[in-house]
Chains A and B, each alone.
Chain A
């Protein structure tokens, strides 16, 4: 037969067919359990061999012949076959999850949502259910232990507030920068989020996706180099009945373990040391010098101001008291956090809605510290005609944080034997800014009472921060033809922040200021009375706009193309206003005075001259602007082969003019191959960037107002760099996903290699150039020049060990990273010291996190001094000379401070509505430098103590049991305290960081439906949760929790109870 004729016939038949048989079929695919839309589900017309996929809202549109059959499929769900004739024009298809199949994971890149099975990049997806199971102080902390490749870096946490939400920094897959921010970019509802993550109600979060490789992240361009965390909030669904969820939980935290602080010595020991210091005349008895209470007692005894009996009585009282006992009673309490949230979601034929409110109230561990947060979220979508959908959203978060507490660490002058209360229970006066004897004398000099009583002060001074965030967004999706969506979206975020401080007239804060500025003739420069202060007021405003066209099309049921392209414009502006202070403030009438002479330097007591403290005299305003164009496309064949590519061009006022002109794009390519049903392989390569906000492209000067001249002056801030550009991170990723035994064993193995180049670093110059290290404000000279390679592997394994009445699942996470500095040029002269400091100079060929140390040779058996040797092997005694001669190449690389190995194991058991889960985490392969007693630490100017004093070398033979040198005798040449530097940086104090931690245990119970339905609820769930039960094992023998090695105490155990009811 003539083929051409046949073709013509078919065409006519087809056209005819179309002409009168087709009708439009519209519909939505939902999860049968949750009624949430399923995006990316396939709708195939079996006879016509035509396939479409559902959009993000789960909706689809088809024109089937009435005789055809629709096949609806979605990974992890049982497929459904439905005759077209049986369907209404507007059909809702509810798919039931296949038992024993993992639900399909949808990953959201912030630009698009796609099934993980069709993505080539590396994503970690955390769904709302898993997030809900973890109770943590902050949203980000919830990710710990359940997100592969994400690590909390707590190495530099000094604060005592680990339990109060101090999370440390986050690293995704190791490090990819040196001096710029290591923070991952956070995307909230499709736009970069610059606010405080604490302002997000965790109950509003539908899912979190972490984008780890170039194909995943490069769509975010110049800011994606550290990885991207995409947070998606919940939304309503079309034609879904209203669903109301109410949750409430209470978390109680233990008091802090103050005895974990190794910088404290027992009272009796401390008194011996102070007596010794006193005998050696180490206390300078000036009015302005705080002297410890026991030393004051000794001074009184020396001067005959106290009887022998009184002295002995006071001494005995000191020896028996320990300030930590009192602190636990008077300064700390068990923390209590309450969280309440309610949400309603649903939708009609033309609209969807989501409404939510949350209220949190936290009483922190330090008495006086408390905060609360109110969050509101409303989202609405509305179908305006067939082709246009309008979406709007409003989010509000308001926080108030009170810092009235006085942690023990703030009372730096207090010795262990000090008391916070008098024997009769009244607040005790303690040594604070000046000598106690002087403060006690003040009233006799015609001044106000000058004593500081911490327990009284706490009630008289208040300091609060307030933060309010308002977000408005709108979007319009226009669908002119099938497969093409044009989305225009806009977001506005306004943040306001202020601080308020009030000091009562009776407070030390107010009295101190009055007294300091009381002149010799009794004139009070600062008026007596309360002080009301607003140190800082700031606000931020961000506008973001985006237009994206996305196109998806299937051919012949085998080829699938999806592509998007668009542009984005963004401005973020932060303004800081100078604050104000009202003196002599009347809290009833809210009036005071601020008309004081801030320019004149006055004589102050006890010594010196000073001006009345005033506020900034300039308004700060920082604006960052971005302009970006982007596109990506993925083509899949037969659902087995997928290729993808992306391209993005960024310009910003953070970069130099030359960089913006050059316009080097960031890009990625990737491919995936579904080899068998069980195995899928992925490979990607691409480049993203990282920006540094702290560097200026212009040679800049800053302006201020001179205190001497009261006239404007300018200062140099940057030498300028017109070629400044973003740092570039090139990432290669190889991955394999597997699913065996009908999904009972599933997981992924990934290898990555990141090469970070053009890293910004300080190019140190000869000080004779005028660019000097010790000046304030520092003049910077930063250029793009360094490079770094990070590589590693992420392994994730989920096993369903038992399924049936008793279910048992295990999730394993394991990650490994290592890095090597490839290039780092510095003009700075290298010496041992420059490698030993906390942020030492990176060494090419060595890890960025390397910890260097002096070799340890033990202690001298005769004297207990640290043994050092010259290069030729002879014994050295002059520590200073030895330090100067020590070549940096002879330092020992003692390990890395960031753990190369990390992971977790999470077991979940469920039986008849009961669910028990526990997470065990580990970190391994890293070291840290523990603190210790310094041989010269006590006799030097700032007397520093450490509990290692108790195990120091004291007599020959001790060198066999301790590494802590003996104390330097008083009167030793001052250069001898250079031994401190040798010992502090020696191998002896390098401590293994390996540990295994039981992170949390959770027991949940879902009431039988029969019970819950009795009160009209769809489900009722109650749970109890323990967080930080503690370490199961640690490699170090010193009893130090390596995650909190520099903090005053480890995160206390918290216990939570919660209830969730769905109607």
Chain B
């Protein structure tokens, strides 16, 4: 059974691969060529990692807040 499922996965993966190969490559791959040493130099004086981490946590918090608020409004607990 496992063998059959694996073969099925291979088949599906193959079909998807063929379909995806028809699509063009992403034109935004320049990011990978960014000189990381320059960014590291900027990060020496700017807290880039921390800023991104903070943004991450912030977005999560705001998203939770909005989600909770919508849920409470649907439940007629909170006013809008």
State whether these chains interact.
Answer: no
Q: Which residues of B contact A (CB under 8 A)?
A: none
